[in-house]
Chains A and B, each alone.
Chain A
Amino acid sequence: MNLLGYFRSQRKQTAKVAKERLQILVARERAGTRGGGPDYLPALQEELLDVIRKYVEVDRDAVQIQIEKEGDYDILELNITLPESSQK
């Protein structure tokens, strides 16, 4: 590795960090606002999280709520990811 390459590799590739932060943020914000989801979704998500935490220790990201429209129906999609250690 030449001298220039050495200095470059030391420097952090900030664009990568930016992309990762944005992907997480945008996914979370979309779950709350896109598709005309009702205003109570974030509160519902918090309460579900509290209930789940009574039994298993999970991250904030463990509960994902999405509303999807299909024809005349609204479908509430609830995704709960349990940590591996909770499965016996």
Chain B
Amino acid sequence: MARIVVVTSGKGGVGKTTTSAALGTGLAKAGHRTAVVDFDVGLRNLDLIMGCERRVVYDFVNVINEEATLNQALIKDKRVEGLYILAASQTRDKDALTDAGVARVMEELGRDFDYIVCDSPAGIERGAMMAMYHADEAIVVTNPEVSSVRDSDRVLGILSSKSRRAEEGREPVREHLLLTRYSADRVKQGDMLSVEDVKEILGIELLGVIPESKAVLNASNAGVPVILEEDTDAGQAYQDAVARFLGEDRPHRFLEIQKKGLFGRLFGS
């Protein structure tokens, strides 16, 4: 049986799809067969971030409606062995993701994969609820900013009460905090919530901190998961996060200010 991991946040634009692409790619690179599933029906974007947008023939909803088999719909990544993508459909029908349909696809994927990464849409509507429902683990992507932290807390509440694990009274969903768009410089100035602040408010274990980085936009422009940009700060931060997810103990980098100005270099500590 596969581990099902939902990448969620409540708030939009915080980096869920970037994280789903990076996590899926990282897990596959570590030798685990991984499927990344886009739950954002109507606004699919995972295909674009992973650079396979021109290879989408069938999608998640086609599989649910039995218009295509899972094997026909899964797109095999050309860069990393064992990595597959299931695109969301562009239909505007919000009820396209049926409970039974999603459950069947999860079960079928579960037989063939080690990890299923569910890329949740923003909000707490149907698509987001469906993405969270089957999860064994949740990666809560949060920006160090008030509305994002509040929405993350809401999402944690939903995971602990509305997920399948909660309904069946099983061990709760394992929750991980991934802090993205972090600027150590602004934290030091006192204008941005620190890692410690967010950890204290949300009260969940920290998986990683991804620094605010130009590399993220560059990678998405090119359709390359940023984790494959191995010489960039964001790429390395994602590599660390995936390693930690797999149980490795790695120190948190990028919590300190990276670049020093001329003055700092001459006189700095």
Is B157 interfacial (CB 8 A cutoff)?
Answer: yes
Contact check, B193 vs A15: say whether CB atoms are below 8 A apart. yes
Is A22 interfacial (CB 8 A cutoff)?
Answer: yes
Is B56 interfacial (CB 8 A cutoff)?
Answer: no
* Among candidates B153, B166, B187, B193, residue contacting A26 with C-beta atoms closer than 8 Å: B153
Contact check, B197 vs A19: say whether CB atoms are below 8 A apart. yes
A11 to B150, CA, bound (A): 25
Number of A-B residue pairs at CB separation under 8 A: 50
Interface string of A1-39 (1 = CB under 8 A from B): 000000000010111101101110110011001111000
A22 to B153, CA, bound (A): 10
Main secondary structure, interface of B, reads helix
Q: Which chain B residues border A13 with CB–CB below 8 Å?
A: 190-191
* Among candidates B154, B161, B193, residue contacting A19 with C-beta atoms closer than 8 Å: B193
Main secondary structure, interface of A, reads helix
Q: A22-B201, A26-B201 are in contact. Are A15 and B194 (CB under 8 A)?
A: yes
Q: Count B interface residues, CB 8 Å.
A: 20
Q: How far is the CB of B171 from chain A (nearest CB, A)?
A: 14
A30 to B193, CA, bound (A): 20
A35 to B145, CA, bound (A): 25
Is B192 interfacial (CB 8 A cutoff)?
Answer: yes
Contact check, B157 vs A34: say whether CB atoms are below 8 A apart. yes
Contact check, A35 vs B150: say whether CB atoms are below 8 A apart. no
Q: Which chain A residues border B150 with CB–CB below 8 Å?
A: 22, 25-26, 29
Contact check, B190 vs A34: say whether CB atoms are below 8 A apart. no
Contact check, B153 vs A15: say whether CB atoms are below 8 A apart. no
Interface string of A27-54 (1 = CB under 8 A from B): 0011001111000000000000000000
